[in-house]
Amino acid sequence: MIIFNRELLVLLPKAWLKEALPELLARDASQDVIAIAKAKDENSGLAPSMVLTILDHPDRKLTLTEKSSKTISDIRDKALEYVSDFGSMGPFVVKMDCINYQLSAPLR
């Protein structure tokens, strides 16, 4: 399972996919995390090719390259090629449902 928010990418075991959302939200992931990677900057999380580095080993990297993208309403279906030198090596294609979420506050 991959959780990604433009800045951080978290790799979790595949077994997590079998759980319902309330159980996932209530669960302590600290013991199950395979790896946490950080994007070079927040804007690189929107680029067609993203290079991330593992937090405790900045010399190891993960690359996600966009292969296709389709937008329906506020949800974007993306197919990304995953290649890394940590965790699951790849290359393989990862399908992600991306939600366009914007937070704004009134000007004072």
Model confidence pLDDT, tens digit, residues 26-73: 777 666 667 778 887 766 666 788 888 888 888 888 888 888 888 877
Residue 101's pLDDT band, with cuts at 50, 70 and 90, is low
Give first-to-last CA distance, the chain, whole Å.
Answer: 41
- Distance CA(52)–CA(40), nearest Å, equals 6
- Distance CA(19)–CA(25), nearest Å, equals 10
